[in-house]
Structure 1
Amino acid sequence: MNRPVSSNLISIALVLCLFGAFRVDARASDPVGHVYMQTNETKNRIMHFGRDADGQLELRESIPTGGAGSGIFKPISGQESAPNAFEGAGSVILAESNTLLFATNGGDNSVTSFRVSPDGELSMIDRQSTGEPVIGRTGTAKSLAYRSQSRTLYVLHAFGPNHLRSYTVAKDGKLKPRPERHSVNTAKKTDRVSSQVVLSPDGGFLLVDILFDAHPTANPDGSRNLAVANAADRDGLVIFPVRDDGTLDEASFADAGGAGPFYMAFLNRSRDTFLNGVAAGDGVLVSRIDGKGRVTNGPLISIDTSPGRPSELCWLQVTSDNSLVLATNFGYGTVSTYRLVEGQLSVLKDPANNAIPGDGTFRAVNGLVSSGPSDSWLTPDDQYFCQIFGNASVLVSYHLDKTSGRLTEIGRTPIPYNSPQGLAGF
């Protein structure tokens, strides 16, 4: 028996409406980019956020690394709960044209590799120990650098004596630990604390910033005794020549340009020029490395430190045209922007954002209550900037005005309390 024409039309209309709705929803949810952050929880995982065209972030998946983070415990200071557990940078990186993602597991001194699909989804490939034993409550593996020419992945530990270990990365993304081990200690400084490892763009040199010349200790009044690197002795930058097979030659020690060097970023399309953010020097400088590994430094340009010192200026992001630098101030809960013109830095907007308050429980070295911002990431088109605020439990998205240097908040995404580390994206 034939159904009435009107009934058939209604059914077809409903199908078309539903099909159309699904298509609209799919288009609305399709991200233009992807951002990855490790939680650094005791059961570590990677939070994968989709980035919309307007800069907003939305959690798409949360994938276990199979390894352990330190949780809210901060091994460098011994604090039971504090943001930026390892006082480092670059614990999550992308490689091989954004098809591989690597993440440290600081709690158990291991590294996990993931395959990144064309739509940004992650699948775990491998997890391997760095080869360094965990001494005490947690390990300190915290910073990564990848050399594509030799498929070598370097992992830096905050504590030594073997600060640097490495892997050979197979084409399928599996990790093969290498036997080499290297220290950033000197004959007289046998307890140094490093912050970040970076490769020069040509893969010829591996650079390491040193934050402390000895492990922090507690004074009788409860304050911290900090042996800040590069303050008295100008040897806070360690430079390893890299051989063709990825092995490292003997290190040399250079002036990092300021006290407490923390974060390096090579300028885009430059083989020899990089920026260094110094935590106790409260500023940024331009440095150059020549073909023999010798470094020369420009002047240190500091931000306003009237709220208190140090500002703990640490993480840096550089715009694609090298015209602006964004510097995160851990001690203030703010970001400052610099103008960079013909190799000369000047402060543009300080601060560039409204300070993000934490929960009031964390105080920086300067004694100020801070939300403890740490790793950051800038979109390739320079429009949007993402910043972790661990003590506020949020990942904040901003729009960047390149003319004024101002950051305008556009969204907040919940993240775990105090523990998160590392940001990478495409």
Structure 2
Amino acid sequence: MARPRSPNLISIALILFFFGVPTADAFASDIVGHVYMQTNETQNRIMHFGRDADGQLELLETIATGGAGSGIFKPISGQESAPNAFEGAGSVILAEANTLLFTTNGGDNSVTSFRVSPDGKLTMIDRQSTGEPVTGRAGTAKSLAYRPQSRTLYVLHAFGPDHLRSYTVAGDGKLELRPERHSVNTATKRDRVSSQAVLSPDGRFLLVDILFDAHPAANPDGSPDLVVSNASDPDGLVIFPVRDDGTLGEASFADAGGGGPFYMAFLNRSRDTFLNGLAVGDGVLVSRIDSEGRVTNGPLTTIDTSLGKPSELCWLQVTFDNSLVLATNFGYGTVSTYRLVAGRLSLLQDPANNAMPGDGTFRAVNGLVSSGPSDSWLTPDDQYFYQIFGNASVLVSYRLDKTSGRLAEIGRNPIPYNSPQGLAGF
């Protein structure tokens, strides 16, 4: 939705008469930042938005990744059309002081690297397969993590058995697939479904959240048959030690603190403290990892689930000063905010925004009609928050009030239907 303007038309005419049409460089002077999203269309693209000082976004360019997305098809569930195709996070990331951008291509299990110029424009560098075959209509490559110390890029797949593959990133941004492959399965759980891979800030551990202990299926009545991770056995968080060269050691399995762990975010300027959002536990908790890779969990702070369970609370954003946490509720079409003080969470606004309606065709696991919000991004100055609503075909811009925790909508940008995922910016 374009922002409202009420200019003086005579003034504009005089400006154009004397000075001509403004150049692209003139328009670029209003831009203070950049936001990137992958469309995940069958011919995948990156949408590059310029961010104005008032938080509004304007589409500057779309550039092909050279790879394939899954389109509106949802590989993880087999639905012909549904948002959040891969049930994951972190499919678009920036690295090396925002000079490189990486994106997954979940349709064909590949990764594309881009050079990011000082004005935010993208130039494709390379595209390489993850080495994992596509056995159905689409692959499931979906989450990226980059370790600068060894220039290692990790790519996580929803389905295994080889959930994790990795690349060495050359100085020019080209990708070289490494031979190592790792699974998040256990001896008794051979079909696990992962959601996100995150590196600890010191690069010593790679953490992976597990959403399901078996591939999703359907009951005879059409309802989902889901074996939620960490609901019975406390092993929904997988921890890999990372060697100096970026290779991974033997995995250990830990309690994620509740059912359906989905999204992890380390606190800013912290080496050991992170948040975990639980899709079926309907809340967020604070966890810590020690120097040996052992994890301890604080209490789970849940949102109001009177609308129905699960809320599918998934994606998280943390303010720069670690005072607020924004949590996206896929099943409700809303965002909730938490206050974080001295390592303790308390619910602040639930919800913090007006629920975004979809087109009425998509129902979440709880049976509610949902707009399918997925990936989000918060500006480094904590002023503006951006949220994908795939089933509503919009990327919504909000202004964050840090005192109240409320989100005020300030703009909308059209995006493809159901397929988009991944947000990154600077």
Provide Cα deviations, 1:2-27, integer angstroms capped at 9, x if missing partner. Answer: xxxxxxxxxxxx99964376379815
Work out the CA distance in 2 between the residues paired with 1:128 and 1:395: 29
Output the CA distance in 2 between the equivalents of 1:155 and 1:17: 53
The residue that corresponds to 2:328 in the other structure is 328
Alpha-carbon distance, 1:30 to partner? 3.2
The equivalent of 2:7 in structure 1 is: none
2:354 matched to 1:354?
yes
Which residue of structure 2 aligns with residue 133 of structure 1? 133
- 2:111 equivalent to 1:111: yes
After TM superposition, the score normalised by the length of structure 1 is 0.95
Code of the residue aligned with 1:309 in structure 2: it is K
Amino acid paired to 1:343: G
**Partner residue in 2 for 1:302:** 302
Per the TM alignment, residue 335 of structure 1 is displaced from its structure 2 partner at its CA by 0.1
Contact 2:105/2:112 (CA < 8 Å) preserved in 1?
Answer: yes
Aligned pair 1:394/2:394, yes or no? yes
Structure 1, residues 269-304: CA drift from partner, whole Å, max 9, x if none? 000000000000000000000000000000000000
Task: Quote the Cα distance in structure 2 between the aligned partners of 1:409 and 1:25.
Answer: 28
Q: Distance in 1 between matches of 2:304 and 2:91?
A: 29
Structure 2 equivalent of residue 243 of structure 1 = 243
Amino acid aligned to 2:133: P
2:391 partner SS: helix
Aligned amino acid, residue 361 of structure 1:
T
Q: In structure 1, the residue corresponding to 2:22 is in which secondary structure?
A: helix
Aligned letter for 1:260?
Answer: G
Q: Secondary structure at the match of 1:49?
A: strand
Give the structure 1 partner of residue 150 of structure 2: 150
- Provide the rounded CA distance (Å) in 1 between the counterparts of 2:175 and 2:357: 40
Provide the C-alpha distance between the structure 2 equivalents of 1:145 and 1:375, rounded to a whole number of angstroms.
15
CA contact (8 A) 2:154 2:165 kept: yes
After the TM superposition, which of the residue ranges 347-356 and 25-34 deviates more from structure 2? 25-34
Match of 2:187 in 1: 187
Residues 23-422 of structure 1 aligned to structure 2 (within 5 Å): 26-27=26-27, 30-422=30-422
One-letter code of the match for 1:392? A
Superposition TM-score, scaled by structure 2 size: 0.95
Which runs of 5 or more structure 1 residues have no equivalent in the other structure?
1-13
Task: Provide the C-alpha distance between the structure 1 equivalents of 2:405 and 2:379, rounded to a whole number of angstroms.
Answer: 15
* Alignment partners' CA distance in 1, 2:15 and 2:165: 58
Going from structure 1 to structure 2, the CA distance change for 1:220 and 1:201 (only over 3 Å counts) comes to same
> Which one-letter code corresponds to 1:193 in the other structure?
V
Shift of 1:76: 1.0
Cα gap change, 1:282 to 1:406, in 2 (>3 Å): same
Distance (Å, rounded) in 1 between the aligned partners of 2:368 and 2:24: 48
1:24–1:46 CA distance, 2 compared to 1 (3 A): closer
SS in 1 for 2:369: coil
In structure 1, how many angstroms separate the alpha carbons of the residues matched to 2:27 and 2:44?
31
How big is the shift at 1:189? 0.1
**How much has 1:380 moved relative to structure 2?**
0.4
- AA partner of residue 416 (structure 1): P
Identity %: 87
Closer/same/farther in 2, CA of residues 208 and 28 from structure 1, 3 Å limit: closer
1:382 to partner: Cα distance: 0.2
Alpha-carbon distance in structure 1 between the residues aligned to 2:145 and 2:404: 33
Following TM superposition, by how much is the alpha carbon of 1:121 offset from its aligned partner in structure 2, in angstroms?
0.1
Per-residue CA deviations over 1:209-246 (Å, capped at 9, x if unaligned) read 00000001110111011000000000000000000000
Q: Secondary structure at the match of 1:375?
A: strand
* 1:79-103 Cα deviation digits (max 9, x unpaired): 0000000000000000000000000
Q: What one-letter code is carried by the residue in structure 1 that aligns with 2:250?
A: E
Query: What is the distance in 2 between the residues matched to 1:184 and 1:310?
Result: 24
> Post-superposition shift, 1:105?
0.2
Structure 2: give runs of 5+ residues left out of the alignment: 1-13
Q: Which runs of 4+ in 1 moved over 3 A?
A: 14-21, 27-30
Instruction: For 2:18 and 2:244, locate their aligned partners in 1 and report how far apart those are by CA, in whole Å.
Output: 58
Residue 10 of structure 1 is matched in structure 2 by none
Is the alpha carbon distance of 1:117 and 1:221 closer, same or farther for their aligned partners in structure 2, counting shifts above 3 Å? same
- Matching residue of 1:3: none
Aligned amino acid, residue 121 of structure 1: K
Distance 1:15 1:47, change over 3 A: closer
- Residue 193 of structure 2 aligns to which amino acid in structure 1? V
- Output the CA distance in 2 between the equivalents of 1:250 and 1:375: 30
SS in 1 for 2:31: coil
Distance 1:415 1:15, change over 3 A: closer
Aligned length: 413
Q: Determine the C-alpha separation between the residues in 2 that align with 1:235 and 1:383.
A: 37
